[in-house]
Amino acid sequence: MLLKTVLLLALVAQVLVLENGLLRRPPMGWLAWERFRCNTDCNEDPKNCISERLFVEMADRLAQDGWRDLGYVYLNIDDCWIGGRDAKGNLVPDPKRFPNGMAFLADYAHSLGLKLGIYGDMGNFTCMGYPGTTLDKVVQDAQTFAKWKVDMLKLDGCFSTPEERAEGYPKMAAALNATGRPIAFSCSWPAYEGGLPPKVNYTLLADICNLWRNYDDIQDSWRSVLSILDWFVTHQDILQPVAGPGHWNDPDMLLIGNFGLSFEQARAQMALWTVLAAPLFMSTDLRTISAQNMDILQNPLMIKINQDPLGIQGRRILKEKSHIEVYVRPLANEASAIVFFSRRTDMPYHYWTSLARLNFSSSKVYEAQNVYTVTSSVASRIKPTSH
Ligand SMILES: *[C@@H]1O[C@H](CO)[C@@H](O)[C@H](O)[C@H]1NC(C)=O
Ligand SMILES: *[C@@H]1O[C@H](CO)[C@@H](O)[C@H](O)[C@H]1NC(C)=O
Ligand SMILES: *[C@@H]1O[C@H](CO)[C@@H](O)[C@H](O)[C@H]1NC(C)=O
Ligand SMILES: *[C@@H]1O[C@H](CO)[C@@H](O)[C@H](O)[C@H]1NC(C)=O
């Protein structure tokens, strides 16, 4: 019986794996959008505008402040970098804001042991109105990104029809593959179709994309975090099984270090995104981030859990009347990560539970660690972990 089960799982996994071999663990890095948006005014705001300077400075911080060595290796550009198309129809960056071009930025990232991500849009325009990648430009743009030595493409979906997206996303996956350069593919496609079957075919997505945005853009507020969490939990029976090594659901960026979350809310987002096996894309100013927020984002045990090799997305298993929720993510070596999440708004609450209530065998012995209070050594076997 056990043998049968194992074989069946192996079969399913094989069908779902995207064959470019990339992102066997959720990607980690920095993405410009949530914090820096479409600020293009480099005269008024030279430090914070979308420009070569911003990405070079973030690359330096990623390399020098411990981020890269913990796995935060992606330096990802979002919308508002494009200057137009040249006479041959090739995309070119804004010449004032990216004076040395994108190949320079990719080389710079690579010289620091980082990877460069870029942004495009399957449609007439990007969401902010810059030139998009229409169906006839898909192959050309893939070749441009490969020539620049880009390592990831986020392809947005503004200004296109469902039919164009249904043709364009698989076409881009094939075009990226044809360049011969390993380029991780982040698809915004499902978010434009409501994120659910039958409009969204997650089997197909897992075949062509390494990660995909299922739902709304995150905004800098706790309300936004909760709305995304609620949507993911409501649809966890659909979403949880489709995630795995090489193909991840993406609930969008981490807000930690910005203006909308309290300290406890920041810790909660980090823990929830970790059990959801979510990509960990920070979007904050790494030049000015506080030590407290760095501690949340650089928690080694948290990162180890997020990057667990089994790549199983966690689920909410309990929703108590007390407004405590319990999330569990199975990990390698018979370990589990557990999040006890309080939605209460009154005061700290003493929640009592038992191994039996959480479906852990009471005939075994468990070692528990609190991820946020572990200070030094990281245990190699993480038994139920709570925070
Ligand atoms: C894209 O542009 C073409 C040509 O101008 C136009 O016919 C089409 O309606 C546009 N599509 C969308 C979704 O805006
Ligand atoms: C392209 O696809 C083939 C077959 O799926 C795969 O073996 C190869 O690694 C892919 N190459 C790139 C560059 O993604
Ligand atoms: C979803 O996509 C897969 C892979 O392309 C395909 O085999 C399957 O028939 C599709 N499912 C539906 C319901 O369209
Ligand atoms: C515990 O397992 C039982 C039987 O598999 C299941 O019905 C129940 O929903 C599980 N409870 C939790 C909290 O996961």
pLDDT for the residue numbered 7: 34
Closest listed residue to residue 372, CA positions, set 317, 307, 297:
297
Burial class (CB in 10 A: 0-12, 13-18, 19+), 318: middle
pLDDT for the residue numbered 362: 86
372-380: long-range contacts (C-beta < 8 A, 24 or more apart)?
372/267, 372/271, 372/299, 372/302, 374/301, 378/300, 378/301, 378/304, 380/333
Can you list the residues of the chain whose pLDDT is less than 50?
A: 1-17, 375-387
Residues near ligand 4 (Cβ within 6 A): 317-318, 359
pLDDT in tens, 94-124: 999 999 999 999 999 999 999 999 999 999 9
Q: Which ligand is nearest to the CA of 242?
A: 3
Mind telling me the catalytic residues? 156, 217
CA of 325 to the centre of ligand 4 (A): 15
CA of 318 to the centre of ligand 4 (A): 9
Within 10 A of 22 (CB to CB), how many other CB atoms are there?
A: 18
Cα distance between residue 111 and residue 133, in whole Å:
29
Asked if 73 and 114 touch (Cβ cutoff 8 Å), the reply is yes
pLDDT for the residue numbered 18: 56
CA of 134 to the centre of ligand 1 (A): 9
Residues near ligand 2 (Cβ within 6 A): 19-21, 177, 180-182
Residues near ligand 1 (Cβ within 6 A): 124, 159-161
pTM for this model (two decimals): 0.93
Residue of the CA atom closest to atom 10 of ligand 2: 20
Dihedral sign for Cα atoms in the order 280, 282, 287, 292? negative
Q: Which ligand is nearest to the CA of 20?
A: 2
Q: Which ligand is nearest to the CA of 135?
A: 1
Residue of the CA atom closest to atom 5 of ligand 3: 204
